[in-house]
């Protein structure tokens, strides 16, 4: 019998980038990995010294505008390994502010620009009014649901979108798109945390993680029962919006 797979998931700056609970996407991945028979460890990275030597996935959450500069400075301090991992196919999920900070950057409504890392194409630009509410996408993973809460649109997203907007704003500017995907790097406005509400997306990331380590991911029995709760939440959102339930 083979030894259990040891998986390391790095969550970047959870003290700065977790205002919508998006850092908890790391815990979702870890728990589902555990249920699949692996040993998963979540490492909080608050400085370059905290960064593990090896990671299987990276989670970057969202934060307030007051956290833009300190969060960007932390990301800059780990820019080289982030770029290496992105190129090597390590799954990276970045939400909201975290997504904007690994893009070309953020244009601020008060003036000035916070430069990003340039890992993903596009940038955040101010919109006239904040958008807040349920966001539903059609995607290659089926329906994806979550909550958007942002005062910036996202322009220049030259990669593939995460999905097409069925209800909500998404990237804005009448693009009808939400998020951007390049390789195994995903940027999105979706809060929730998105992986808790959309197990199929979590399992997609875990499939990639396991395959990179030469193993096959199979959803654990415990995950199957928990996913019923996610489906109930999804159904409630879709019905409230007058959309067909998937």
What's the Cα-to-Cα distance from 92 to each of 182, 225, 229, rounded to whole Å? 10, 26, 25
| Residue 1 is assigned to a structural domain of this protein | no
Residue 223, number of CB atoms within 10 A of its CB: 20
| Residue 192 is assigned to a structural domain of this protein | yes
Q: Provide the residue range defining the domain that includes 20.
A: 6-240
pTM: 0.96
How many domains, the chain? Answer: 1
What's the Cα-to-Cα distance from 233 to each of 136, 188, 229, rounded to whole Å? 13, 20, 6
| Residue 245 is assigned to a structural domain of this protein | no
Find the CATH number of the domain harbouring 51.
Answer: 3.40.50.880
| Residue 246 is assigned to a structural domain of this protein | no
Question: How does pLDDT run along the chain (246 residues), one tens digit per residue?
Answer: 468 899 999 999 999 999 889 999 999 999 999 999 999 999 999 999 999 999 999 999 999 999 999 999 999 999 999 999 999 999 999 999 999 999 999 999 889 999 999 999 999 999 999 999 999 999 999 999 999 999 999 999 988 999 999 999 999 998 999 999 999 999 999 998 999 999 999 999 999 999 999 999 999 999 988 999 999 999 999 999 999 886
């Amino acid at each position: 019998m083979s030894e259990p797979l040891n998986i390391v998931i790095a969550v970047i700056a959870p003290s700065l980038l977790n205002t919508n609970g998006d850092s908890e996407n790391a815990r979702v991945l870890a728990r589902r990995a555990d249920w699949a028979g692996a040993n998963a460890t979540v490492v909080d990275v608050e400085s370059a010294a905290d960064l593990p030597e090896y990671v299987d996935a990276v989670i970057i959450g969202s934060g307030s505008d007051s956290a833009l500069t300190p969060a960007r400075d932390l990301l800059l301090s780990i820019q080289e390994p982030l770029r290496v991992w992105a190129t090597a196919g390590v799954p990276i999920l970045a939400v909201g502010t975290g997504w904007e900070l690994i893009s070309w950057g953020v244009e601020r409504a008060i003036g000035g620009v916070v430069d990003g890392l340039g890992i993903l194409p596009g940038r955040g630009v101010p919109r006239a009014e904040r958008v807040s509410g349920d966001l539903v996408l059609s995607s290659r993973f089926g329906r994806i649901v979550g909550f958007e809460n942002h005062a910036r649109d996202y322009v220049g997203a030259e990669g593939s979108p995460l999905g097409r907007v069925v209800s909500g704003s998404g990237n804005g500017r009448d693009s009808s798109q939400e998020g951007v995907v390049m390789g195994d790097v995903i940027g999105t406005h979706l809060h929730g945390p998105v992986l808790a509400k959309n197990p199929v997306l979590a399992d997609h990331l875990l499939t990639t993680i396991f395959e990179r380590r030469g193993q096959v991911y199979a959803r654990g029995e415990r995950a199957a029962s928990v996913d019923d709760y996610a489906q109930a939440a999804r159904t409630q959102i879709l019905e409230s919006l007058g959309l067909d339930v998937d």
